[in-house]
Structure 1
Amino acid sequence: MTSPSVDQSILIIGGGTWGCSTALQLGRRGYKNVTVLEAHPMPSPISAGNDVNKIMEEGAHTKNESDEEYVWNHMHEVSTKYWKEDPVFAPYYHNTGIIFSAATPEVFEHVKTWIVGNEAEYEKLEGAADFQKTMPKGVLTGDFPGWQGFWKRNGAGWLFARGALMSAYHEAVKLSINFVTDERQGKVTELLYSSDSGRVLGAKTADGSLHHADWVILTAGASADTFFDFEDQLRPTAWTLAHIPLTESENALFKDLPVLYNPERGFFIEPDAENHELKFCDEHPGYINLERDVGPGHDGQQHSVPFARHQIPLESEERMRRFLRDTMPQLAEREFSFARVCWDSDTVDRQFLIDRHPKWRNLVVAAGGSGMGFMLSPCVGQLIADTLEESIEHRLRKGLRWRPEQAEGRDWWATQDRYGGNGKVTDFHDVKGWTNGRKGEAPNVGGTGSTLSKACE
């Protein structure tokens, strides 16, 4: 078995960011029998792509790039073309610029490495006055204690994530891709295998239905390794976000702002046009939810299990308000209108995993977004389709391959070049209390509670 014909049946498990991008690609390539199974109505409330905005950086190939750089640069270059030219994606890219910054000398040295070779595109920022001039008067009113940074006026900004996700979904539907989005009919509980043939036969859903297919593509985001053993290649990791409501006048003032990003404090992006809410996040190495016996074939191995929760840990709220006090103290004590944890999966090297499964050769695995899965999702859908067709370029296949050798002896507590918080990865079981950031609320005490739910990127 090499590659499918356009008439063969294909099953996509997970209708989030990568699932919709893959469905769009297959529809555009003329495949006629593609079904997407997703446990929630579109857009899925637990999809990382169901969000008001994501950071976007344009990219291209460079001279003398390593194999690793080649993979990243290829995905950036191809995705940039989609975000700027493809009618499905282009309306959702806002080229407002970006500010990279840090609050301590140590982390600023790390930030400097991000602009090497492109220094001419950035303007140095040092001190409150420099940061304040990047935005209209009255936005950045903080003292920016110890902050330094770089401002890039063009070639970066933000993406209206939910809009782009739904645009890809609607276009895929127009191309006759079948989406089953239901908590029973669309929720996959297990894959179906044939050991004799070495094939995945399809999937079983919560209503007991068996969905057979010639080919299966797994795009289940942070929940991917609950279906079978990824040999420690994935570490589902969560971050935290919140929204603050703005007045009409504030919303007008905050329009078309550059993204402000600080890897040890947090980031914010201009308010969404629909609800006039400012999304912002605290930065930290992430949370994991360590459990055992989480799925078929794991044999009691330790894994991080995603769950959905529209609250954040108390310490996360404290970090968020510290970030606001540094930058926009006029908002620092305002109640949050929304808060949640948001999941992704880290690979060991934070490179994506897109490959045919080594044992089940009609199964394409796509996982490990590692914090950059949405920005590069237009190219990811293309790479998944190329992997299915076995037409993917050799250097890309090598960089994205199934690679359990990297995960031998994996350190589950590795910060993976992330800063902020207490400088450590935190287990959700050690969280002392939860909050939605509203005054008068009695914080929930304890761990993950009864809110466990599969999450799809």
Structure 2
Amino acid sequence: MTTAYTPPSPGSKIIIVGGGCFGLSTAYALALKNQYEVWVFDRQAIPANDAASCDINKIVRMDYANDTLYMHLMVEAFGLWRQWNKERAEKDLGPVFHQSGVLLFSGKDKFSDFEKDCMKNIREAGYGHFIEEFTSPEQIIEKFPQFRKAVENGFNTAYLNKEGGWCNSSEAVKHIYNKCLELGVNFVTEKDTGCLSSLYCDPKDPTAVVGIKTEDGKIHYGDRVLLATGSWTGSVVDMRKQVVATGQQVIHFQPPQHLRREWEKLPVWCGDLSNTGYYGFPCNADGKMKIGKHHSGYLNPRASDEVSVPRTQVTHIGDTIPIGALREFREFMGKFLPETTNLDISFGRVCWYSDSVDGDFVISPHPDYKNLLVACGDSGHGLKFIPIIGFKIRDIIEGVDTQYSRAWKWRNMQTQDTKLDGLRADSLLQRLILCEENNADARMCHMDEFKASFKHQNTAKI
């Protein structure tokens, strides 16, 4: 049975569970109206160490092929990112948005369908001046000599979106958190007092959510509850398989000074992403260079019901990335940026997505409950929208019909219809089980296996 949703009236108390991208952005947008009592609960101090939003950087791109809804949302967000940079400059803080450009490579002497559709839709929307299309491999090398080897190894077609770049995601989270504090949003961010134990329903009506219970046993009453719990959402409430928690591998290099100087000047790059899954960033102010893979990901099913749940470095302190993922990183980077072959990997982690069935966000009243909404399904592309997404979620909370509320509404798709987003490698869903017994590729790497010397000495092992 689907329950009808009623928007909150002025004066309502709104509880948001989760202090990441969706949760904080929504808290900020609600607080701006100055007519709700807004509470945010999280089990960790913000930014939470194992949240997807807690990271040194994320791509800020408007390149969405035929998913033009997100292209237009990003254009709207660009202005707010620049406003945030101004606000930080006034406080002598560094920028959170860096307009390095986003360089999208294809291979085999031609653009993939994804890049073709990106350029077509960006130009048709009137933003063609953002695009610098390279008509020969030599033009790419002339503009970005750091990618000479990549071009020579077949990544020889590319365009640059000059408007895009990257954000310091943890700092962006801190920035909007402070904006929330200034507006009087209430926060509970302790292990027991801020950690959700369960939804709390009316004893007379088990479908009516009237608050939450935290790990310390306390009940917190609210008129509406928003679960902005990211990749944990499917393990908190029955999402009818609309979302699944998937683990995506990320590594860092800390290159020597001569390479750092070169790689600080790089744009964000996508290495034929829709086919390989690999992307990376320039060196940041700390000299860290992050590389990631955007693919169908790993699963970590819990024993009780096979629902995939995040396995993070908070609960498993020694975790890194699967050994099979390390082998793939080394193989790809050996072709794309071969200078990394002799570098140790300085850090690795599995970053958890809330993957929706079709790659679109799931932001909607939950059909099984009164007063409960969910904001999840980031599908690995949510953080870039942190300055703007909360306003769209606020509309949904308030029952306003928009193109976003229609696109992100509850959908009853079947898992066999899974599409993922257009920029995802191996979208045929070849998901492996993390740390699966009898699967040598799925075990976690040891730190000594991150060393370049280990790779050279033990090629057969990895």
Report if the CA contact (8 A) 2:433-2:442 is conserved.
no
Q: For residue 38 of structure 1, what is the aligned residue in structure 2?
A: 42
Q: For residue 181 of structure 1, what is the aligned residue in structure 2?
A: 189
Q: For residue 290 of structure 1, what is the aligned residue in structure 2?
A: 301
* Secondary structure, counterpart of 1:190 in structure 2: strand
Spell out, residue by residue over 1:56-94, the C-alpha distance to the aligned partner (whole angstroms, 9 max, x if none): 12479x9xx9xx74x434422332332233556993221
Q: Could you tell me which amino acid in structure 1 is paired with residue 430 of structure 2?
A: K
| CA–CA separation in structure 1 for the residues paired with 2:401 and 2:427 | 39
| CA–CA separation in structure 1 for the residues paired with 2:8 and 2:429 | 47
Q: For residue 459 of structure 2, what is the aligned residue in structure 1?
A: none
In structure 2, runs of 5+ residues without a counterpart are 90-94, 314-318, 456-462
Report if the CA contact (8 A) 1:353-1:401 is conserved.
yes
Q: Could you tell me which amino acid in structure 2 is paired with residue 347 of structure 1?
A: S
In structure 1, runs of 5+ residues without a counterpart are 294-299, 443-457
Per the TM alignment, residue 105 of structure 1 is displaced from its structure 2 partner at its CA by: 6.9
The reply on whether 1:167 has 2:202 as its aligned counterpart is no
- The residue correspondences of 1:116-155 to structure 2 (distance < 5 A) are 116-118=120-122, 121-124=131-134, 126-127=136-137, 129-135=138-144, 137=145, 141-142=149-150, 144-155=152-163
The reply on whether 1:225 has 2:231 as its aligned counterpart is no
Q: For residue 267 of structure 1, what is the aligned residue in structure 2?
A: 279
Q: Using the aligned pairs only, state the percent identity.
A: 25
TM-score, normalisation: structure 1: 0.83
The reply on whether 1:327 has 2:339 as its aligned counterpart is no
Report if the CA contact (8 A) 2:260-2:283 is conserved.
yes
Q: For residue 427 of structure 1, what is the aligned residue in structure 2?
A: 433
| CA–CA separation in structure 2 for the residues paired with 1:426 and 1:56 | 28
Q: Could you tell me which amino acid in structure 1 is paired with residue 184 of structure 2?
A: S
Aligned with 2:378 (options 366, 369, 374): 369
Change over 3 Å in CA distance of 1:103–1:303 after alignment to 2:
farther
Change over 3 Å in CA distance of 1:283–1:73 after alignment to 2:
closer
Matched positions, count:
422
Aligned with 1:72 (options 70, 73, 94): 70
Q: For residue 316 of structure 2, what is the aligned residue in structure 1?
A: none
Spell out, residue by residue over 1:369-422, the C-alpha distance to the aligned partner (whole angstroms, 9 max, x if none): 0121111233221111111122242x3222111112x12xx1398666532699
Q: Could you tell me which amino acid in structure 2 is paired with residue 419 of structure 1?
A: A
Q: Give the CA RMSD over aligned residues.
A: 3.0
| CA–CA separation in structure 2 for the residues paired with 1:398 and 1:89 | 34
Q: For residue 242 of structure 1, what is the aligned residue in structure 2?
A: 251
Per the TM alignment, residue 109 of structure 1 is displaced from its structure 2 partner at its CA by: 4.0
| CA–CA separation in structure 2 for the residues paired with 1:287 and 1:184 | 29
Q: For residue 119 of structure 2, what is the aligned residue in structure 1?
A: 115
Spell out, residue by residue over 1:140-198, the C-alpha distance to the aligned partner (whole angstroms, 9 max, x if none): 55564222332225111111111111100011011111111111111112111126454
Per the TM alignment, residue 226 of structure 1 is displaced from its structure 2 partner at its CA by: 1.2
| CA–CA separation in structure 2 for the residues paired with 1:171 and 1:88 | 10
Aligned with 1:22 (options 2, 17, 26): 26
Range with greater deviation from structure 2 (275-284 or 79-88) = 79-88
Per the TM alignment, residue 4 of structure 1 is displaced from its structure 2 partner at its CA by: 2.7
* Secondary structure, counterpart of 2:73 in structure 1: helix
Q: For residue 79 of structure 2, what is the aligned residue in structure 1?
A: 81
Change over 3 Å in CA distance of 1:398–1:117 after alignment to 2:
closer
The structure where helix makes up a greater share of residues is 2
Q: For residue 405 of structure 2, what is the aligned residue in structure 1?
A: 397
Report if the CA contact (8 A) 1:108-1:148 is conserved.
no
Aligned with 1:411 (options 411, 416, 441): 416
Q: Could you tell me which amino acid in structure 2 is paired with residue 427 of structure 1?
A: I
Q: Could you tell me which amino acid in structure 2 is paired with residue 328 of structure 1?
A: L
